């Protein structure tokens, strides 16, 4: 028996979907405007996960040469059919796309557009026992003007085109499952099941729909709620059936600044319906568990990455803020080597050449040495902690050394487009060409609030914990003397958790960044 604790992954893997082939479990997740996109994680035991690659080298639209915060790749679905892995992913402004691969950790095909237009989101392909194929999807009110509806469309057997009429199969407003979205379609014992989240990301619940017929009518049942636990909004994920017949559900929890972290729940089947988590007496639903036991053992540990990978490039955890150009990251041993790019006139949050990675824990501390020897005078570079509210350190190369400034800013969204407001304050200066930047993420206690809307169905006793994190930057000269420090309250990005990383701007030259181990 193997014990596990939730969350499995304290990292922002939003809208996770998982599919098992043999003893291999493959996970993917939303990636929005970050590149590369569609992370691929692998596990043999459902508990220890390793990031092994990305399925999307670039987004299939030239507008993503600059960051479009909150847009891009939303909730994907991953499936295996006829010897090929398939990922179907939506872009809420552009359409629905399919990519395929023989090896999920290898090269994926170029995206094929199944549906072009705004509003259709969260697609999931399904191949039935008779060889027919279908696609289920939800809709985004921000793009199409309405929500809470699920649709099914017949699909070609190869998964590369839609072939018939799109039919409405479920309207969540009819039975209180508002904002139903993210559908995943399965078949078990002659029933079609659609697993779908409802109620909103932070305060919602998990719904399952059931029908004998692919187009319904579907009956609905709530199968998991927050209940008396502290795990808010437990929904949106994947049902996995193991070789031994046991059932499991992998889902996310939104923890605000850190993003959407991954949990694992047991599933039991009663009268043809799943109950997820710890069953609640007298109810159709379960509550999230804090951990448990799996009926197998494993010796497969997770393998976190560092600053550089096997090919002398940034390790897989690092992603760009938008589609990168050639040579933005250069080969290096044990460090990041970023070439200067001409984006100094942009607000830092809108620089495409931010190289970023997700938070990896509720609280943590990192220290880096920035070497600007290879930059000409007038170049700027630095470190950023990026969310809707963001902060960082700006380094300007001067003839006699380095000018150090603090960075603080925030994004305002209007009609799904952002504009930035930011300020920079002088912290100090030093000679030489190297400084150390320390970033510390601390929890400064949480705010506990009642569920804001009674229709969320949490019950009067349920509460949502709103964590509050502070990010503090401290900068030191080469001789160890402090040049200055400041802190700001962290706030999640547009549908994503806070990421931290580096940028380098100028006409030429390069920045070297080395992590300083404690």
**Is the confidence at residue 134, as pLDDT, over 80?**
yes
pLDDT score, position 311 = 56
Q: Of the residues 15, 287, 317, 469, which is catalytic?
A: 15
Rg of the chain, C-alpha, whole Å: 23
pLDDT score, position 449 = 64
**Is the confidence at residue 303, as pLDDT, over 60?**
no
Is 319-515 CATH 3.10.20.30?
A: no
Residue range 364-384: mean pLDDT, rounded: 97
What's the whole-number average pLDDT of the chain? 93
Q: What is the largest CA-CA distance in the chain?
A: 76
Residue range 396-424: mean pLDDT, rounded: 95
pLDDT digits (tens, 9 = 90+) for 444-496: 877 766 554 544 444 444 567 788 999 999 999 999 999 999 999 999 999 99
Name the least confident of 309-323, 342-356, 388-402, 443-457: 443-457
* Residue range(s) of every CATH 2.60.120.200 domain in the chain: 319-515
**Is the confidence at residue 157, as pLDDT, over 80?**
yes
The answer to whether 33 and 69 have CB atoms below 8 angstroms apart is: yes
Could you please report the per-residue DSSP string of 265-309? EEEEEETTEEEESEEPTTSS-EE--SEEEESS----------SB-
pLDDT score, position 251 = 98
Is the pTM for the entire model greater than 0.85? yes
pLDDT score, position 457 = 47
Structure token digits, residue 2: 């193997």
pLDDT digits (tens, 9 = 90+) for 199-247: 999 989 999 999 999 999 999 999 999 999 989 999 999 999 999 999 9
pLDDT score, position 415 = 87
Q: Of the residues 94, 181, 287, 371, which is catalytic?
A: 181
pLDDT above 90 covers what percent of the chain? 88
Tell me which residue has tokens 């839609």.
162
Residue range 270-299: mean pLDDT, rounded: 94
Kindly state the DSSP code that residue 73 receives in the 8-state scheme.
B
Residue 131 confidence class, pLDDT cut points 50, 70, 90:
very high
The answer to whether 184 and 201 have CB atoms below 8 angstroms apart is: no
Residue range 404-415: mean pLDDT, rounded: 95
pLDDT score, position 416 = 87
pLDDT score, position 430 = 95
Strands 380-386 and 149-155: unpaired
pLDDT digits (tens, 9 = 90+) for 46-103: 999 999 999 999 999 999 999 999 999 999 999 999 999 999 999 999 999 999 999 9
d(CA 448, CA 48): 31
* Residue range(s) of every CATH 2.115.10.20 domain in the chain: 2-294
| 181 a catalytic residue | yes
Domain 2-294, CATH number (from 2.40.30.10, 2.115.10.20, 1.10.10.10, 3.30.70.260): 2.115.10.20
């Amino acid at each position: 028996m193997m014990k596990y604790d939730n969350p499995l992954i304290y990292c922002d893997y939003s809208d996770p979907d998982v599919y098992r082939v043999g003893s291999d479990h493959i996970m993917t997740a939303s990636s929005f405007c970050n590149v590369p996109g569609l992370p691929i994680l692998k596990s043999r035991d459902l508990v220890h996960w390793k990031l092994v690659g990305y399925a999307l080298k670039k987004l299939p639209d030239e507008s993503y040469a600059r960051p479009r915060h909150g847009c891009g790749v939303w909730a994907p679905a991953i499936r295996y059919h006829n010897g090929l892995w398939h990922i179907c992913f939506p872009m809420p402004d552009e359409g629905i796309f399919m990519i395929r691969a023989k090896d999920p950790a290898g090269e994926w095909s170029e995206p094929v557009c199944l549906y072009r237009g705004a509003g259709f989101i969260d697609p999931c392909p399904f191949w039935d026992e008779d060889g027919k194929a279908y696609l289920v999807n939800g809709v985004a009110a921000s793009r199409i003007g309405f929500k809470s509806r699920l649709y099914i469309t017949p699909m070609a057997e190869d998964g590369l085109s839609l072939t018939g009429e799109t039919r409405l199969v479920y309207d969540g407003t009819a039975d209180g499952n508002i904002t139903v979205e993210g559908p995943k379609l399965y078949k078990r014992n002659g029933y079609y099941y659609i697993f779908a989240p409802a109620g909103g990301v932070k305060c919602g619940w998990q719904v399952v729909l059931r029908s004998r017929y692919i187009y319904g009518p579907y009956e609905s049942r709530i199968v998991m709620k927050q209940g008396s636990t502290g795990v808010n909004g437990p929904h949106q994920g994947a049902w996995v059936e193991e070789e031994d017949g046991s059932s499991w559900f992998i889902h996310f929890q939104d923890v605000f600044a850190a993003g959407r972290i991954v949990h694992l729940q047991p599933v039991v089947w009663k009268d043809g319906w799943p109950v997820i988590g710890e069953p609640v007496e007298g109810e159709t639903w379960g509550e999230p568990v804090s951990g448990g036991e799996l009926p197998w053992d494993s010796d497969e540990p997770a393998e976190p990455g560092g600053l550089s990978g096997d090919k002398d490039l940034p390790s897989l955890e690092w992603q760009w803020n938008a589609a990168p150009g050639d040579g933005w990251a250069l080969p290096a041993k044990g460090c990041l080597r970023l070439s200067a790019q001409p984006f100094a006139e942009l607000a830092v949050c809108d620089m495409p050449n931010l190289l970023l990675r997700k938070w990896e824990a509720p609280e943590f501390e990192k220290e880096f040495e920035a070497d600007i020897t290879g930059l000409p005078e007038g170049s700027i570079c630095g470190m950023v902690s990026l969310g809707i509210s963001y902060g960082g350190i700006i380094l300007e190369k001067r003839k006699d050394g380095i000018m150090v400034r603090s960075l603080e800013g925030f994004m305002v969204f209007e009609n799904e487009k952002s504009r930035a407001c930011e300020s920079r304050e002088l912290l100090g200066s030093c000679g030489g060409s190297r400084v150390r930047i320390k970033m510390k993420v601390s929890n400064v206690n949480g705010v506990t609030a009642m569920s804001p809307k009674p229709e969320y169905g949490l019950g009067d006793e349920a509460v949502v914990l709103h964590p509050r994190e502070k990010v503090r930057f401290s900068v030191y000269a080469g001789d160890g003397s402090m040049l200055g420090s400041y802190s700001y309250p962290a706030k999640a990005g547009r549908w994503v958790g806070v990421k931290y990383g580096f940028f380098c701007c100028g006409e030429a030259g390069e920045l070297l960044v080395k992590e300083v181990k404690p």
